[in-house]
Structure 1
């Protein structure tokens, strides 16, 4: 209103209050979300009032008639601004809607996997107990073989549910206390030595690092299980770790049959091996766990392999705190391992 009065009282300087009128309405529209009808009403009122004043001044010869063209031009500029702002508001609302749906989906998936894994593991434990009872109550060879098949399938289900639970846990924040990585890595590899007749070696000169041992164990167990699956008796599996600022690297290499080049781009996808008929019969979650665990820490995982030349995985993990000397261990040949013995801790699936 003040600017309209200024336009009427000072026709020779109407340009400044005229533009202040339009700046004011633009600012008000930018601060408040107007409904379309209210916006058009305000635009019509401003256009009519400023247009009337300028047309009256042009008629009396106080300004040139060409200057009245500013009124429709400013109205057009305002409409363009309104179109842009409303489009942006719609885009933001859509993003918020999609984000809310994604959060709900993630929460539902997390709840489903956690409850499903718990219920499945309970049923698997009960079923395994009854199969063992049946096996012990019948001494004939056929029953023993059938029970062995059932127990093997139950073991696969148990590893699958454990892998799913591990993947879900990788999305949640965890503590990263300082750990003696060299001792941790030696203990971890030693657990796998009785499982397979391989030439095992472990070399580490990392020292103390800030890391979550459960996530590291999940990633390393998956890599070592993968190395065993792709090697045969007598092949070598080597685990190395070293400082590489700003973090440290872990390498798991084997002299097994290797991986075809066309498969390397897909091996970290969830369930990829299952979809493509991997003869190992795995769940396809192992290498997905590796990537998720490393990337959750801000690191990267890479693989180099070719058929007949073995495979080498490298984990690049940031933020190491070195303070210990190099440690190397060559493990003795494994002893005979009973069928079905798993090196992982209770409830931990690689």
Structure 2
């Protein structure tokens, strides 16, 4: 039985563990823009069947544009593409979770199970790149949700996007945990030959059990290291991203992650502290309470020390790293290790001078 209640009321309703196998979020609270929530209650009548296990659902969106612009001083890019909304990897700490609220969905389990694909994105991208006023700069992909999450196996949107970028000789930076990127090594190698691509592989922990709890449907740490090796062998520059660093949970692994990534072929490294904006904070705290109740207080205390007593401070220049003694300690450890491993070099920008709009069927070809 269901009833409708006002969303002004706070009521935590955990989803039974048997229904959320290989999912990270514990609850599925209604998004913050919804005036009402639909909540299941036991009305005393016997249930003939148990509630089913949550399955991944996929919807289709037809975008009018795919290049998203930003002016954030914290970001090294001014444009990005998101082939998907929501992410089946289900990382509990994902700062993109609140974006699901804009769709009328929950940043909790809906973010992991109710996904949206944009199969026409490659065609829209080609149209946008062909505009006379367009000027090329590196496009970032994977900065919101992972473009190589499991549904990409069938959808193949990312592969077609990469083919468009190759046709236009357009620079691209990719961030992913997905080993499915190995499928596209043929396209990536061609882009790499022209210095048009750079890949960031995110490794949060080397602990397989912790990773499975925190990132339930992402590839294991060992597989991600193998992906770094395969990409670098194909000539693709790879940056290891030790992100996010979780105080009292993964911070002790920082040097080990950098060392293993260097051995696998990474040529650069970066780090970001755990961020808990909006709905991510209660979701992460619920997860901590279920999996690490003995460390929950310590983790949150460290985070609040770095954000002026709050779970998160969105101020430019601080939101990615935090502030205070602990944040400075992590930064010093990272800098020292990265320097000793040769992962601290400033990489040259990707090329934009090769950009050109490829001829369409029926166009007159150039003689030169």
Q: What TM-score, normalized to structure 1?
A: 0.21
Please identify which structure carries the higher helix content: 1
